[in-house]
Amino acid sequence: MVKIIPHRERLICALDVPTTYDAKTLVERLGDSVQFFKLGLELFMTDGYFELVDWLLAREKKIFVDLKFFDVPATVGRAVRQLNGRGITFTTIHGNDGIMRAAAEAKVDVKVLAVTVLTSLDRGDLDDLGFECDIEQLVVSRARRAVDYGCDGVVASGYESRSLRAALGDSFLIVTPGIRPVDNDDDQKRVVTAPEAFANGADYIVVGRPIRDADDPRGVAETIQQQIEQAINTK
């Protein structure tokens, strides 16, 4: 995979807001400081999700449909197929080998990212879920299978990105959520800063609350963009 990624498209802003009106308001406040937006479950449960997709595309924004499809493989495949031809860049799946294979076979112009381990989970959470293996080993194992079955990349924390690159090379995408500029007290547990994410091998980062909840969202986004440019130029 040849990666030609404009610096300012490497920041993906998560539109984790309750209504499409709120989403449009935030997008307009951000202006040209953000070119790429993630639309998740909260917005999907409101009216106008795909109208918002079209609205963003009309403004030449890129779109990440983050719905983490998890169902029987045939259903996941059909869901991914519905996203082809809509101008969507990324979507996410969450599941086993059959799900990953079905999603990869269904994609045409949308790239499929396999979720490895959510950044809101730590060792204790995985114990609760019955996973006794090391988090890093689990992430690398899931990523290896995702690449083998034809997915375009993975969603993985900055903690594991360096190990992913060492084990699997540079031929797939890593999208890293859980970006925090400072220590945080929210539900994200395995977090890194933007420069750390790129130093560890990320291609894109997803930032939500630090931008959304800021007094000056555009100013925060521009600061992150400057950090990204510096991080990429010094690699």
Q: Please, which contacts does 44-52 make with residues 24 or more away whose CB atoms are closer than 8 Å?
A: 46/18, 46/19, 46/20, 47/20, 48/20, 49/20, 50/86, 51/20, 52/20, 52/23, 52/24
Which entry of 3, 62, 68, 111 is annotated as an active-site residue?
A: 68
103's enclosing H/E stretch is helix 97-106
Q: Is residue 129 in some structural domain? A: yes
Model confidence pLDDT, tens digit, residues 129-160 = 455 566 778 888 889 999 999 999 999 988 88
Separation CA 13–CA 212 (nearest Å) = 9
Q: 167 pLDDT band (50/70/90 cuts)?
A: very high
Instruction: Check residue 128 and give its pLDDT.
Output: 58
- Asked whether residue 173 is domain-assigned, the answer is yes
**Domain limits for position 86:** 7-233
Residue 2 lies in a domain: no
pTM to 2 decimals? 0.90
Number of domains in the chain: 1
Residue 149 located in a structural domain: yes
- Domain with 63 in it: what CATH number? 3.20.20.70
Q: Which has the closest alpha carbon to 80: 71, 176, 51, 38?
A: 71
Please indicate, yes or no, if residue 67 is contained in any of the structural domains.
yes
Note whether residue 128 is domain-resident: yes
**How confident is the model over 155-182, as a mean pLDDT?**
88
Residue 1 lies in a domain: no
Residue 124: Cβ-neighbour burial (10 angstroms; 0-12, 13-18, 19+) = exposed
Question: What is the token pair recorded at 119?
Answer: 């950044």
Active site residue 68: yes
* Residue 188 placed within a domain: yes
